[in-house]
Amino acid sequence: MNKTQLVSELTFKAIRSSGAGGQHVNKVSSKVELSFNVTDSKALRNIERERILRFLANRLNKENILILQCDESRSQHKNKELVVKRFFLLLENALKVPKVRRKTKPKKSAIEKRLKSKKRAALKKMNRRKPNLD
Q: How far apart are CA 35 and CA 66, in angstroms?
A: 6
Angle at 86 between CA 63 and CA 9, to 5 degrees: 50
pLDDT tens, 73-94? Answer: 888 899 999 999 999 999 999 9
pLDDT at residue 21, as a whole number: 65
**What is the chain's Cα-based Rg?**
28
pLDDT tens, 33-77? Answer: 999 999 988 888 999 999 999 999 999 999 999 999 998 888 889
pTM: 0.69
Q: How far apart are CA 48 and CA 113, in angstroms?
A: 47
